[in-house]
Structure 1
Amino acid sequence: MKNPKEAAHKATGHTQRGQCSKRLSILDAAAEVFCREGFAGASIDEIAAEACVSRQTIYNHYREKETLFTAVVEDVTNRTNSSLFSILATFPDKPDNLEDDLSTFALGLTKNCLCNQDGKFLRKLVQSEGERYPQLFEGWRKHGPGKIGTALAALFARLSYGGVLQIDDFDLAARQFLALVNADLQMITLFGETPSDEELENAARNAVRTFLRAYSAPVVNIAAPAPLAKAVG
């Protein structure tokens, strides 16, 4: 005879996995619909059809469309931050060649965080909905761009204290670095296009060269000692 407690535990486990699976399906479907239709144009019925669940199931999980939208932005932001901090771990603390190493870092940042599917999704939503529904992006503002700038400022501070860079305002330098990395890619991504590997590499290299012109530590030339004057005999 089966143990009733064991059977109940298994049933609960299956239920929890099923609920988790439904939540993920709803979030993925909602991301697709919100990105395609915008917040105002998206309907719960359309999201339910995309997720293969009932309308009531979505309301049971998220109560209303605004709550669902916020959950979608939070979910995508968390994934983006996970990728971001993996890339930040590759920052060149002790570079052999600062320009090359920093360019490789910038390339990883654009390819894996800014120009991947989640990065494009967030950018499109913020551009289309940010002005009309600023409250829906409050969590993204706190946990998205803010975290990137703070982490990057700390990394540049290490290079500055080590004498590799000369920076007075680390937060400003971090913002400028991110702006430079995006500069050559803005027109490409604005219309939903995906930059080629060559375009990403050129953008990273151009950004780093411009950044280093502003913040490279001056090279100190150690003058050779003057020859001793011959004694006059």
Structure 2
Amino acid sequence: MEISHLTEHSPAMQRGNYQKRCAIITAATAVFVRDGYVGASIDAIADKAGVSRQTIYNQIGDKEKLFAEVVRGINERSSAALVSTLASFPDKPDDLETELTAFAIRMTSNCLCDDDARTLRRLIENEGQRYPELFDAWKDYGPGRDWPAIAARFSRLAQSGAIEADEPELAARQFMALISADLPNEPGRRVAPSQVEAAARNGVKTFLRAFGPRRS
């Protein structure tokens, strides 16, 4: 009888390693949120992931590397969600208030109040002072490196005359602050869709009072 051997480069082995890595990171995220960095242990993470300690060391490394990998993964997913949501920005609106409100709801649901955002806020609250460099990108309502992309959308609205904004980056910051101003400020808490919608409507109304086109 022929016996087939799986090598570390075989597709089946690669899939197995990827699945283990995903399980480890998912488990680590839950344990870091629950226990904090200091309280979390490799044993607890291994138990939750259903793998051995050695598998974690082989796949990722020690606890510090694992924590950095958790944060990196959240940042990458959050940045991708933001880019995807920005693609739906109303560059040429027929009804500015209605379309900005719909966009604000998508932005809040996809980027500010999703599972990754809640997890990251919990980690920042617990570990931000210990590892500030890991959270630098999330100083302002999401990945900091994507602020130019957000400001560019408001610049287009200003150029078209839909809003009046000499400083598009300021307008973007004000917009993001206003649509989240009425949201519950409790890290880890789920926000109801009705709360998201109400915050978006109130925020957009206030934003347009400041940046809407001036009537002659």
TM-score, normalised on structure 2? Answer: 0.90
The verdict on how the C-alpha distance between 1:61 and 1:138 changes in structure 2, with shifts beyond 3 A counting, is: farther
Partner SS state of residue 55, structure 2: helix
Match of 1:151 in 2: 149
- Distance of 2:9 and 2:174 partners within structure 1: 54
Which amino acid in structure 1 is aligned with residue 127 of structure 2? E
| Structure 1 residue 47 displacement after superposition | 0.5
Asked whether the 8 Å contact 2:164–2:211 carries over to 1, the reply is yes
1:163-205 Cα deviation digits (max 9, x unpaired):
11111111121111111111101xx241543222221111001
| Structure 1 residue 56 displacement after superposition | 1.0
- Distance of 1:182 and 1:151 partners within structure 2: 19
Match of 1:224 in 2: none
Which amino acid in structure 2 is aligned with residue 89 of structure 1? A
Match of 2:169 in 1: 171
Match of 2:46 in 1: 48
Mapped pair 1:206 → 2:198: no
Asked whether the 8 Å contact 2:78–2:143 carries over to 1, the reply is no
Match of 2:66 in 1: 68
Match of 2:190 in 1: 194
- Distance of 1:42 and 1:9 partners within structure 2: 33
1:127-152 Cα deviation digits (max 9, x unpaired):
2211232133246569x431342211
Counterpart of 1:89 (choices 80, 83, 87) is 87
Give aligned pairs, total.
Answer: 214
Within-5 A mapping of 1:112-123: 112-123=110-121
Counterpart of 1:129 (choices 120, 127, 130) is 127
Match of 1:230 in 2: none
Partner SS state of residue 10, structure 2: helix
Which amino acid in structure 2 is aligned with residue 201 of structure 1? E
Asked whether the 8 Å contact 1:74–1:139 carries over to 2, the reply is no
Partner SS state of residue 190, structure 1: coil
Mapped pair 1:218 → 2:204: no
TM-score, normalised on structure 1? Answer: 0.84
The verdict on how the C-alpha distance between 1:22 and 1:8 changes in structure 2, with shifts beyond 3 A counting, is: closer
Counterpart of 1:180 (choices 157, 178, 184) is 178
Counterpart of 1:31 (choices 21, 29, 32) is 29
Where structure 1 has 5 or more consecutive residues not aligned to the other structure, the ranges are 221-233
- Distance of 1:11 and 1:127 partners within structure 2: 40
Q: Which moved more, 1:32-41 or 1:128-137?
A: 128-137
- Distance of 2:130 and 2:136 partners within structure 1: 13
